[in-house]
């Protein structure tokens, strides 16, 4: 199981990333100009972007105890991840993938160079 502190450590370690409160004060992580990860409550979950809606649906379908969605995210490649369903390594992979999809190319290049 991961914690918000684990998520904070992973996301804040990415190039150009910073934390900002959003969605009722819940933590989110952004690069200019957009967000790449956040934590929601009720139920508490990590929220990340994936490559496509099809990828999201495949993940939800294959591991529903770990991944889910809500009607709010219908039609968007946004995946909800149960904190108790993933370990730190898998969370890091999901957060980095989301960062790669949402961050400016120069920051992705920094990540690849480092």
Say if residue 29's pLDDT is above 90.
yes
Enter the pTM of the model.
0.95
Q: How far is CA 74 from CA 13, 17, 79, 93, 111, in A?
A: 30, 27, 10, 23, 30
- Tens of pLDDT, residue by residue over 31-59, are 998 999 999 988 899 999 999 999 999 99
| Two structure tokens written together for 29 | 């992580």
Say if residue 15's pLDDT is above 90.
yes
Which CATH class, in words, describes the domain spanning 4-104? alpha beta
> What confidence score (pLDDT) does residue 103 get?
97
**Would you call 71 exposed, middle or buried from its count of C-beta atoms within 10 A (0-12, 13-18, 19+)?**
exposed
Closest CA to 13 of 89, 96, 88, 94: 96
Query: 12, 18 in Cβ contact below 8 A?
Result: yes
> What confidence score (pLDDT) does residue 43 get?
86
> What confidence score (pLDDT) does residue 23 get?
78
User: Cα separation of 7 and 12, whole Å?
Assistant: 8
> What confidence score (pLDDT) does residue 114 get?
82
Instruction: Kindly list the domain boundaries of the chain, sorted by start residue.
Output: 4-104
């Amino acid at each position: 199981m991961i914690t918000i502190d684990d998520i904070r450590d992973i996301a804040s370690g990415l190039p150009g990333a910073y934390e900002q409160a959003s969605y009722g004060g819940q933590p989110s992580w952004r690069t200019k100009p957009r967000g790449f990860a956040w934590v929601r409550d009720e139920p508490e979950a990590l929220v990340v972007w994936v490559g496509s809606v099809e990828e999201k649906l495949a993940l939800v379908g294959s591991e529903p105890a770990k991944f889910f969605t809500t009607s709010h995210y219908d039609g968007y490649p946004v995946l909800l991840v149960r904190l108790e369903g993933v370990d730190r390594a898998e969370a890091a992979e999901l957060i980095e993938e989301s960062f790669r999809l949402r961050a400016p190319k120069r920051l992705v290049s920094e990540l690849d160079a480092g």
